[in-house]
Amino acid sequence: MAKKKHAEEHENLERWLVSYADFMTLLFATFVVLYALAQSDVNSFKGIEEALKRAFQQSVFDNQTSILNGTDSVFDGYEGATNPLMLEYMSQKYEQSSFDEIEENIENLHQDGLSATQDDRGLVIRFDEHAIKFKPATADLTDESLKTLSQVAKIIKEKFSIHFIEVEGHTDSDPIISSKFPSNWELSSARAASVIRYLIKNHGFNSKIFMATGLADTVPIVPNTTIQNKAKNRRVEIIILKNKNKNMSKKNMNAILKEVQEQQKQAKIKKQPSKAIEGLVGNDKELLKNVIDMTNTYESENKRLDLLEDFDYMHDGQKPTFMEK
């Protein structure tokens, strides 16, 4: 009896899908690893996630709802990133684009002796003696310097409120002869501090973000061989540190976040007239505007007079009458 023939096995034409799926899995894993490497700085922020959530999820001023709108993690979703302070602290893209914009704006000032560059530390804004002047052998800023410093301060403040900023003072190699400053170390440190004091007092920067460093003549940018070169070495550098360098300081970022939030809140309150003033002026919007303008003028004049007190305006041992308290 003849054997029964087995039916021919049907060839599986879809076996390629197994290899394709394996390939896609490996490709996906490759991109995940590349993304993780590119986001290494973001991963380093995981350790302070809880501190940030405490600062942003619950208002430090009252019992308002969270500005994160219930986001489980500052790394999940985009709700938290809408907050300017969170964006500044967490976003590398924001940081880099802001560095680029500030650098371009400073170049557009076309100020002799003023420049901006980027290095591993962050954005370095350099003022040599042509851009920032001090009275000889002192740490007192001249009126001529304040205009340039004020312009730069406004450019920085538009982008950064909680980035750490280091201010370095530098001198030339000539030894100082002064009873107040025994050496260039003290002088360079005092000049860095003078710039920081101006930024805090006149432009509302939070004092906790600053670090003052005096380097004397140890980091010249050109040899101290000519008068022109010495003028370039007598300089101040404002360095906006990258967030990855935040560990250069032992300062409490959570406390800084709360203080900056409080400052911003107070600034908004000042822009609004009090209920008492609104009750007095009624519906007279023009009068209300005049009252607000007069208040702002009064505050700005007080700041200007406070600034004048930082300088030596003594004449024959007496201050001008307008400066007497």
pLDDT tens per residue, range 233-246: 999 999 999 987 66
**Better pLDDT: 320 or 240:** 240
pLDDT of residue 82: 43
- Is residue 268 very low, low, confident or very high in pLDDT (cuts 50, 70, 90)? low
pLDDT at 26 > cutoff 70: yes
Top pLDDT among 124 and 36 is at: 124
Q: Which of 210, 231, 211 is nearest to 222 (CA)?
A: 231
Res 53 pLDDT > 60: no
Q: What band does 80 get if pLDDT is binned at 50, 70 and 90? A: very low
- Hey, is 28 helix, strand or coil? helix
How are beta strands 210-214 and 235-241 bridged, if at all? Answer: unpaired
For CA atoms 35, 38, 39, 43, the dihedral sign is positive
Predicted confidence at residue 161, as pLDDT, reads 86
What integer pLDDT is reported at residue 177 of this predicted model? 82
Beta bridge partners of 15: none
| Mean pLDDT, residues 61-81 | 40
Distance CA 159, CA 125 (A): 15
Asked if residue 210 lies in contact with residue 200, where contact means CB atoms within 8 angstroms, the answer is yes
Distance of CA 168 to CAs 98, 127, 177, 178, 216, Å?
21, 10, 21, 21, 9
Q: Which is more confident, 173 or 256?
A: 173
Residues 198-237 have pLDDT tens digits of 999 999 898 989 999 999 999 999 999 999 999 999 999 9
Q: Mean pLDDT, to the nearest integer, of 281-297?
A: 63
Taking residues 274-300, what's their average pLDDT?
62
**pLDDT value, residue 17:** 73
Instruction: Enter the pTM of the model.
Output: 0.59
pLDDT value at residue 313: 45
Contact predicate 155/102, CB 8 Å: yes
**Band of the pLDDT at 262, cuts 50, 70, 90?**
confident
Residue 81 has a pLDDT of 39
**pLDDT given for residue 61 in this prediction:** 42
* Residues 102-121, mean pLDDT to the nearest whole number: 94
Give the per-residue pLDDT at 90.
Answer: 75
Mean per-residue pLDDT of the chain: 75
Query: 166: pLDDT confidence band, cut at 50, 70 and 90?
Result: very high
Stretch 81-86: mean pLDDT = 60
pLDDT above 80: residue 264: no
Q: Is the pLDDT of residue 303 over 60?
A: no
DSSP states of 67-129 = TTTT-S-TTSSSTGGGSHHHHHHH-HHHHHHHHHHHHHHHHHT--TTEEEEE-SSEEEEEE-T
Look at 38-47, 88-97, 143-152, 168-177 and tell me which has the smallest mean pLDDT: 38-47
The domain ranges of the chain are: 112-248, 273-323
The whole-angstrom separation of Cα 66 and Cα 63 is 9
Measured CA to CA, the distance from residue 119 to residue 293 in angstroms comes to: 43
- Average pLDDT for 29-43: 64
Three state DSSP letters for 146-215: HHHHHHHHHHHHCCCCCCCEEEEEECCCCCCCCCCCCCHHHHHHHHHHHHHHHHHHHHCCCHHHEEEEEC
Q: What is the pLDDT of residue 193?
A: 96
| 3 — pLDDT class (breaks 50, 70, 90) | low
pLDDT at 158 over 70: yes
Domain 112-248 matching CATH 3.30.1330.60: the answer reads yes
Residues 6+ positions from 214 with CB-CB distance below 8 Å: 168, 169, 185, 186, 187, 188, 189, 190, 191, 192
pLDDT, residue 275, reads 60
10: helix, coil or strand? Answer: coil
